[in-house]
């Protein structure tokens, strides 16, 4: 029905054309589509035909304006299954991870929830507490999966390729030439939940165990802040890792790659917990801050959420081999799923999404909930699943073993007392008002942008609606610091941190309240036409703790943490706000 409605709208538009030849050609084309749509089950195939014609029919045909109009963007995002093509795996490397045969040759079934009366709940266990029986069971399932031929979509190589397809943009959106990518936007959490769900059920079916569940690597908990021993042996080992990060080394959730300093285990744990507090609590007050920016049909904006930026991205790089380009396997998304630790890593991210959802409202945008994609299940059926289907773990019949969430109580303190800091900030303001030259750029860096080859400190005026309402104790808005137009030209891991109202630049660290977030970019899965990225940071709680929530101006500091930042430019900074 959807394709027929679009066609009717197109016909109505084409009737206004003044060129009879265009009107006739448009009418003939639309008639063919209307006829075909009678025999097509939308939206799996009908929309794909419209998507192809959107690229084939000349732009001059006014009858197709509906397909390229802004209204088309409200349609749910879907995958064009016939569009898979080679894509960039990492800079300088073209990869082909497409299925060996056209997926449209297989019948498509809509996803159905497991029957709660007959389906046992799968319990995903903490990877540091696994017993021998479970490990033997998991190794058997993984060995069978690795033995399956490439022609079998349940095989391990095909599982690896699924992630490759969706992180490199190998598939196009239906009705658009834009790629489907599941990183750096609101698809990140739900798509990976789908991937793990089907992967887990395939493993269980291979050993005839309906209760089998993947383990999770609880890297946010002090008891889980080392690589689990399980992944050092047998089928779970991957020689393409950084051996210097094997136990007893504590994971670095804020990995800077070339940082010459070495923290003690206790210091590293404290830093990890402070970062987790920022990215799970104070900086994650809204759905867009935590989950990432909207990603709709016909448009693409890179704007990852808190947990995706870190710890997700830093841990991928922390684990990968320093002796291989792109720090493969884990350091390069297109082959990351080749390392079995990938699935435990993402299971923990999924667990954190579940925890966040218990106290926060997610997206209710139909363009998000009604978007859909496809996976092969444990019976080799090709399943169409909508993002609305994976919003609740209970309906999917799995849950996580409970562990300590120590980061909940890890709220950082200011590096210096707010009273002393305010005195220094007022001094800066007087110098600014007195036209004293401080070599500081404006909040917009101009047409040449600003290269992040050194630390930048800049004053930002806050919206009056925010600081004025705070003075009246009406704190109903979440203040968001936006770093605009981040252009990454580097073919390497990129990281920079963001601080506010810093008065002692020698003690910059996430363990202090001045830290409000980090930007982390892993190269790969992009092209020369990549759009610039936007970084959004929730700062209301930090401003309160710094006693700066009623100030008209704050001072923002961008601190490059990798050498590759000398190939990064930023357009400027601003402050937005949204209702809590």
Candidates 346, 387, 445, 496; catalytic one: 346
Residue-level pLDDT at 34? 39
Say which residue, 21 or 557, is predicted with more confidence.
Answer: 557
The whole-number average pLDDT for the span 451-455 is 94
Active site residue 163: yes
Express each pLDDT in 181-197 by its tens digit: 999 999 999 999 999 99
- Evaluate if residue 470 carries a pLDDT over 80: no
Residue-level pLDDT at 444? 57
The whole-number average pLDDT for the span 325-340 is 96
Strands (E), 142-193: 172-173
Range with lowest mean pLDDT among 147-156, 256-265, 374-383, 402-411: 256-265
Nearest to 343 by CA among 159, 524, 167: 159
Nearest to 568 by CA among 459, 449, 462: 449
Express each pLDDT in 163-183 by its tens digit: 999 999 999 999 888 999 999
User: Kind and range of the H or E element at 543?
Assistant: helix 540-545
Say which residue, 430 or 513, is predicted with more confidence.
Answer: 513
Active site residue 360: no
Say which residue, 278 or 490, is predicted with more confidence.
Answer: 278
Nearest to 349 by CA among 223, 245, 253, 217: 217
Per cent of the chain over pLDDT 70 is 80
Residue-level pLDDT at 4? 35
Coil, helix or strand for 398? strand
- Evaluate if residue 24 carries a pLDDT over 50: no
CA distance 9 to 3: 10
pTM value is 0.86
- Evaluate if residue 42 carries a pLDDT over 80: no
For 19-151, where are the alpha helices, taking DSSP H only? 20-37, 46-56, 65-68, 132-147
| Confidence band for 474, pLDDT divided at 50, 70 and 90 | low
CA distance 531 to 184: 12
Range with lowest mean pLDDT among 21-25, 75-79, 507-511, 550-554: 21-25
Residue-level pLDDT at 33? 39
How far from chain centre, in Å, is Cα 465?
31
* DSSP tally for the chain: helices H, then strands E: 18, 18
Candidates 192, 245, 279, 345; catalytic one: 192
Range with lowest mean pLDDT among 24-28, 414-418, 461-465, 570-574: 24-28
Pairing of strands 172-173, 87-90: unpaired
Say which residue, 305 or 474, is predicted with more confidence.
Answer: 305
Range with lowest mean pLDDT among 123-132, 277-286, 322-331, 456-465: 456-465
Range with lowest mean pLDDT among 145-154, 167-176, 199-208, 405-414: 167-176
DSSP code, position 226: S
| Confidence band for 433, pLDDT divided at 50, 70 and 90 | low
DSSP code, position 566: G
DSSP code, position 455: -
DSSP annotation string for 42-73: TTTTHHHHHHHHHHHS-TT-GGGHHHHSGGGG
Nearest to 516 by CA among 441, 460, 470, 450: 460
- Evaluate if residue 69 carries a pLDDT over 50: no
- Evaluate if residue 347 carries a pLDDT over 60: yes
Active site residue 519: no
The whole-number average pLDDT for the span 523-528 is 60
| Confidence band for 91, pLDDT divided at 50, 70 and 90 | confident
Residue-level pLDDT at 25? 45
Candidates 128, 163, 199, 279; catalytic one: 163
Residue-level pLDDT at 420? 92
Candidates 312, 345, 368, 496; catalytic one: 312
Candidates 333, 375, 515, 519; catalytic one: 333
Per cent of the chain over pLDDT 90 is 70
The answer to whether 209 and 88 are in contact (CB under 8 A) is no
Residues facing 445 on adjacent strands: none
The answer to whether 217 and 345 are in contact (CB under 8 A) is yes
Express each pLDDT in 212-256 by its tens digit: 999 999 999 999 999 999 999 999 999 999 999 999 999 999 998
In the block, residue with structure tokens 């889980």: 224
Mean predicted lDDT score pLDDT of the chain: 85
Residue-level pLDDT at 518? 98
Candidates 128, 279, 316, 345; catalytic one: 316
| Confidence band for 362, pLDDT divided at 50, 70 and 90 | very high
Active site residue 345: no
- Evaluate if residue 203 carries a pLDDT over 90: yes
Active site residue 279: no
- Evaluate if residue 370 carries a pLDDT over 90: yes
The whole-number average pLDDT for the span 149-160 is 98
CA distance 182 to 169: 9
Residue-level pLDDT at 11? 33
- Evaluate if residue 20 carries a pLDDT over 50: no
Residues constituting the chain = 580
């Amino acid at each position: 029905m959807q394709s027929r409605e679009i066609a009717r709208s197109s016909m109505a538009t084409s009737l206004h054309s003044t060129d009879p030849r265009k009107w006739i050609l448009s009418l003939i084309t639309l008639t063919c589509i209307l006829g075909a749509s009678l025999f097509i089950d939308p939206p799996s195939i009908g929309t794909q035909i419209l998507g192809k014609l959107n690229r084939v029919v000349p732009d001059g045909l006014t009858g197709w304006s509906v397909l390229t109009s802004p209204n088309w963007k409200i349609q749910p995002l879907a995958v064009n299954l016939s569009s898979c093509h080679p894509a960039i795996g990492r800079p300088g490397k073209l990869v082909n991870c497409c299925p060996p045969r056209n997926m449209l040759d297989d019948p498509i079934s809509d996803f159905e929830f497991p029957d709660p009366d007959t389906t046992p709940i799968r319990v995903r266990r903490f990877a540091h507490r696994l017993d021998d029986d479970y490990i033997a069971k998991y190794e058997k399932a993984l060995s069978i999966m690795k033995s399956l031929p490439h022609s079998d979509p349940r095989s391990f190589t095909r599982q690896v390729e699924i992630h490759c397809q969706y992180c490199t943009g190998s598939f196009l959106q239906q009705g658009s030439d834009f790629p489907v990518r599941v990183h750096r936007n609101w698809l990140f959490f739900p798509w990976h939940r789908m991937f793990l769900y089907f992967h887990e059920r395939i493993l269980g079916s291979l050993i005839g165990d309906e209760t089998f569940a993947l383990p999770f690597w609880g890297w946010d908990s002090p008891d889980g802040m080392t690589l689990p021993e399980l992944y050092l042996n047998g089928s779970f080992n991957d020689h393409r890792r950084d051996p210097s990060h094997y136990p007893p080394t504590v994971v670095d959730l804020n990995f800077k790659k070339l940082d010459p300093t070495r923290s003690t285990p206790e210091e590293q744990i404290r830093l990890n917990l402070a970062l987790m507090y920022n990215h799970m609590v104070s900086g994650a007050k809204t759905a867009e801050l935590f989950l990432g920016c909207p990603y709709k049909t016909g448009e693409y904006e890179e704007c990852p959420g808190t947990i995706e930026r870190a710890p997700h991205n830093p841990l991928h790089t922390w684990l990968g081999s320093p002796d291989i380009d792109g720090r493969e396997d884990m350091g390069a998304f297109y082959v990351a799923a080749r390392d079995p630790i990938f699935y435990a890593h993402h299971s923990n991210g999924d667990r954190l999404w579940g925890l966040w959802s218990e106290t926060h409202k997610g997206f209710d945008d139909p363009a998000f909930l009604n978007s859909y994609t496809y996976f092969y299940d444990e019976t080799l059926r090709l399943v169409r699943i909508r993002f609305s289907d994976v919003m609740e773990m209970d309906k999917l019949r799995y849950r996580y073993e409970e562990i300590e969430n120590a980061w909940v109580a890890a709220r950082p303190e200011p590096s210096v007392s707010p009273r002393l800091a305010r005195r220094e900030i007022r001094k800066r303001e007087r110098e600014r008002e007195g036209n004293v030259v401080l070599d500081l750029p404006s909040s917009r860096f101009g047409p040449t942008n600003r290269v992040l080859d050194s630390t930048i400190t800049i004053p930002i005026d806050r919206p009056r609606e925010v600081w004025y309402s705070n003075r009246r104790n009406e704190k109903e808005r979440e203040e968001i610091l936006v770093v605009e137009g981040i252009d990454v030209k580097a073919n390497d891991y990129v990281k920079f941190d963001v601080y506010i109202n810093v008065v002692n630049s020698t003690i910059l660290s996430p363990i202090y309240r001045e830290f409000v977030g980090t930007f982390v970019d892993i190269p790969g899965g992009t092209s020369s036409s990549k759009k610039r990225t936007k970084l959004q940071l929730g700062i209301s709680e930090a401003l309160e703790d710094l006693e700066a929530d009623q100030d008209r101006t704050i001072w923002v500091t961008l601190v490059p943490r990798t050498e590759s930042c000398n190939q990064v430019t930023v357009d400027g900074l601003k402050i937005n706000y949204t209702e809590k």
